[in-house]
Amino acid sequence: MLLETEKLTRIYGGVVAINDVDFHASEGLITGLIGPNGAGKTTLFNNMTGLDVPTRGKVFFEGNDITGKSAHEISRMGIARTFQNIRLFKEMSVIENVMIGRHFKVGNKDKGRFRQALKSYFFMSREERWIYDSAMEYLEFLELGKFANDDAKSLPYGHQRELEIARALATEPKLLFLDEPAAGMNPQETEHLMETIRRIRDKGISIVLIEHDMKLVMNICDEITVLSFGQKIAEGTPEEIQNNETVIEAYLGREEED
């Protein structure tokens, strides 16, 4: 198993955001994480990527316990993510956003990073060139090459989402978390996004995605986990989930509230 959580629990004050969740993501697959609003999906993401520390439970990545590790360490181990509300470095150019993701991938690992970084000060050209070129490859992969020198904030919405994916890919993850990648996209953009997600999977990167667009989820996910009120209520293939009574109930219950 690539990623596994064991009875993962996060309590904020008196609110149990996720409760004893055993989640897992298999290598090479696209795993969907769905559930009504407030089910704890993003909390689960935050607790697996080190942005939040679980109250109880453990997270394992490739068999290693990563519970409580800092987000930058987890990133360097090979987990990347995007955010529900786009969080680009808006003041930087498109290419710079991706270059930041490349920074800690340069050179050989046994030299101190600080020394490498200092070196980049005096020998800007060669290493910067390498970072630039490799960043450009990720932009091309997302078909954003022609926007390289624009400000990130000037990109149309759909492209901003894609840029966030390019930036996440630039850290060379083994596992990519996507938090509502299709939110706010029109049907054509969503179609294109599905294609992109498949292409990422085909590069050997495993994916976990939170999404409300059921068409997208049922179409591209190999496995689906359903959360409701902080608890895992179901998991299985898209067909299994579509026919699961508990899941249907959880979703209908939400519509009643609206």
Partner 1 sequence: MFFQHFTNGLTLGGIYALIALGYTMVYGILKFINFAHGDILMVGAYIGMFSFNFFRGDAPLGAWTFFSFVLAMIVSAAFCAFLGMFIERVAYKPLRHASRLAPLLSAIGVSFILSNGAAWLWGTQSKKFDYPFDNTPLMIGGVAITPHQILILVVSLILMVVLKLFVDRTRLGKAMRATSLDQDTALLMGINVNQVISLTFAIGSALAAIGGILIAFDYKCYPTLGMMTGLKAFVAAVAGGIGNITGAMLGGILLGLLETFGVAILGIPMGYKDTIAFAILILILLVKPEGLLGKREKEKV
Among residues 24, 58, 103, 174, which is the contact residue for partner 1, using CB under 8 A?
103
Among residues 64, 70, 186, 243, which is the contact residue for partner 1, using CB under 8 A?
70
**Which amino acid type is present at position 36?**
P
What do you get for the CA distance between the two ends of the chain, in Å?
38
Q: Which is nearer to partner 1, 148 or 233 (CB)?
A: 148
Separation CA 194–CA 190 (nearest Å):
6
Which residue(s) pair with 81 in the sheet? Answer: 177
Restricting to residues 170-209, name those near partner 1 by CB under 8 A. 171
One-character DSSP codes across 176-209: EEEESTTTT--HHHHHHHHHHHHHHHHTT-EEEE
* Least Cβ distance, residue 55 to partner 1 (angstroms): 15
> Does residue number 1 form part of the binding site for partner 1 (CB under 8 A)?
no
**Alpha-carbon dihedral of residues 118, 119, 120, 123, nearest 10 degrees?**
140
* Least Cβ distance, residue 179 to partner 1 (angstroms): 12
* Least Cβ distance, residue 87 to partner 1 (angstroms): 5
> Does residue number 136 form part of the binding site for partner 1 (CB under 8 A)?
no
> Does residue number 83 form part of the binding site for partner 1 (CB under 8 A)?
yes
Among residues 60, 93, 104, 136, which is the contact residue for partner 1, using CB under 8 A?
104
DSSP H helices, the chain, are 41-49, 71-77, 94-102, 113-122, 124-141, 157-169, 187-202, 214-220, 238-242, 245-257
Q: Which is nearer to partner 1, 103 or 192 (CB)?
A: 103
* Element counts in the chain: helices (H) and strands (E): 10, 11
Q: Which is nearer to partner 1, 41 or 81 (CB)?
A: 81
Neighbouring C-alpha atoms within 13 Å toward the C-beta of 242: 9
> Does residue number 92 form part of the binding site for partner 1 (CB under 8 A)?
yes
> Does residue number 64 form part of the binding site for partner 1 (CB under 8 A)?
no
By rule CB under 8 A, what string of x and - marks binding of each residue 12-41 to partner 1? ------------------------------
> Does residue number 75 form part of the binding site for partner 1 (CB under 8 A)?
yes
Among residues 108, 121, 255, 257, which is the contact residue for partner 1, using CB under 8 A?
121
**Which amino acid type is present at position 34?**
I
Q: How far is CA 125 from the centre of its chain?
A: 32
Q: Please give the residue ranges that form the binding site for partner 1 (CB under 8 A).
A: 49-51, 70-72, 75-76, 80-81, 83, 85, 87-92, 96, 99-101, 103-104, 106, 114, 116-118, 120-121, 124, 128, 131, 167-168, 171
